[in-house]
Amino acid sequence: MTDNVSHRFDRLPPTSADCVVSGRPSRQDVLEWWDERFGIDPAVFDGYSFWEKGAGKLWAFAGDVPDPITVEALGLTALRVRQEHWKPTTDAVQRFGHHATRNVIELADPEARTFIAGEDQQLAWDGDWGYLIVTRSTVDDTEPLGVGLYLHGELRSQIPKGRRRDID
Amino acid sequence: MVLERYRPLIEEFEAFLAACERPLPSVVRVNTLKASVDQVREALDADGYAYESCEWHPELLRLETDHPGNSWPYVHGWIYGQEEVSALPALVLDPQPDDRVFDACAAPGSKTTQLAALMADTGTLVANDVNLGRLSALRSNAERCGVTNCVVTSKDAQTFSLGPFDDEPFDRALVDVPCSCEGTIRKNPTALDEWSLDRVTGISGVQRGILERAVQMTRAGGTVVYSTCTFAPEENEAVLDHVLGTESCRLIEFDTPLTTRPGITEWNGEQYDPSVGRAKRIYPHLNDTGGFFCAKLEVGS
């Protein structure tokens, strides 16, 4: 096993049997995680490759480039791994969260405003604790907003500082 | 007054000057990767925002707010604040799904995200900007818009290497270069405070270098679009004239629903290749937009 090279993008191996970098998950691990945690069908990611840059920062990419490659960014950041609980990013949830069927919490407008402002709030939720996909209802659908951490009756907003907004 | 130098070029010069004094409305482009025009209109209606569509491109909406960033459609990545005329070059480049596209000077990303949408987020879009400080804005805008086909690089576009990309040339390149920004005066009334002829001349050297390199990296038969938001012929037709002489490429005609004027073939005693007349000049008083310059090139063998 070799170590992760922090400044370089490496494509995830297809399965753990193909893995040569210690601690790196495989594509199969990533697909299974989205499926188990959020009920997102692995087929949703058919057109995407997953890459690691930095320790545990995974990116989803729809294009085609040589592997490995040293660039600034590749597609969008999707997932933080190499910690006890894997954590999806706001961008990945906004892009792929429509497909989720589990651990999705839909907020009414005032709660959605509180969430996108980056504030924590007391909310009832009888599902799993941990990272949830937070959505709000729009005119004809629901739209994923980002990630919330649900613990002890509280929904903690995980919206990054630069993406927080006071909605007019 | 800098703009006086263009009096010989512009019909209805007083109308041009008057337009330059008027502020521009806040315009957003619908990010079709995440929402349809109808969806955005419904959401804006529901939240009480007044808007009207730009006649020439239905994906552009003029909004009656100075803070489109504080709306739900913005948070969802459904809209992107973009001066309406700056939506032109990506449309002229006309990238197709599965193309390999180079965006030479991409930050902060309005045209990059538009290119990704035109490509339906397929193929490979290399978005480059030499300015590291502006890359975070580019990345954040691309991610908010849900773009996944984009590779962000930070190199000098004049010496950009295809080495990391297995030397595979691009199908198309957008060369929207840094410029003296004369055309943005309606958005930013202080745009011309730093103007000097030395600066114009200096920046035109960089513009030539970037356009030359982009042509070299595009396959034979591929398309390069050159654009600026300035009126200065030194940064527009003179750059094209130079590249026609150094690289294998030719200027081609293109249509746009905007009212435009042809590129000029003579300036301050210098003659340019007659084909630079195929480029288009866009003046503020003709469509009530910012000022712009756009040219389409086909790369030769």
pLDDT at B114 (0 to 100)? 98
Nearest CA in chain B to A96: B146
Total domains in the fold of chain B: 2
Contact A76 B142 (CB under 8 A): yes
pLDDT tens digits for B179-211? 999 999 998 888 899 899 999 999 999 999 999
What is the pLDDT of chain B when averaged over all its residues? 96
Strands B249-252 and B292-299 turn out to be: antiparallel
Query: Between B46, B135, B164, which is nearest A70 by CB?
Result: B164
CATH of the domain at B255: 3.40.50.150
Distance from CA of B52 to the nearest CA of A (A): 19
| Single-letter residue type at B11 | E
CATH number at residue A109: 2.30.130.60
3-state SS, chain A, equals: CECCCCCCEEECCCCHHHCCECCCCCHHHHHHHHHHHHCCCHHHHCCCEEEECCCCEEEEECCCCCCCECCCEECEEEEECCCCCCEECHHHHHHHHHHCCCCEEEECHHHHHHHHCCCCEECCCCCCCEEEEEEEECCCCEEEEEEEEEECCEEEECCCHHHCCCCC
Mean pLDDT over residues B29-48, rounded?
Answer: 96
Q: Is the CB of A58 inside 8 Å of chain B's CB atoms?
A: no
Residues annotated within a binding site of B: 105-111, 129, 156, 176
Q: Are residues B44 and B182 in the same domain?
A: no
Q: B51: domain range? A: 25-82
Domain of residue A92 covers 9-97
| Separation of alpha carbons A134 and A145, rounded Å | 6
Asked if B271 and B246 sit in the same domain, the reply is yes
* A125 within domain boundaries: yes
* CB-CB under 8 Å, B152 with A71: yes
ipTM of the complex: 0.95
* pLDDT for position A20: 87
* Domain-located, residue A168: no
Nearest CA in chain B to A8: B164
Question: Does any CB of chain B come closer than 8 Å to the CB of residue A165?
Answer: yes
* Catalytic (active-site) positions of B: 229
A3 within some domain: no
A48-84 pLDDT, tens digit per residue, is 999 999 889 999 999 999 999 999 999 999 999 989 9
Q: Are residues B17 and B157 in the same domain?
A: yes
- Name the pLDDT band for B68 (thresholds 50, 70, 90): confident
Could you state, in chain order, the average pLDDT of each consecutive group of 10 residues for chain A (168 residues)?
A: 88 92 94 98 98 94 97 97 95 97 96 98 96 92 96 97 93
**Is A4 within a domain?**
no
Residues in B closer than 8 angstroms to A139, CB to CB, are 39, 42-43, 46
- Closest CA in chain A for residue B47: A168
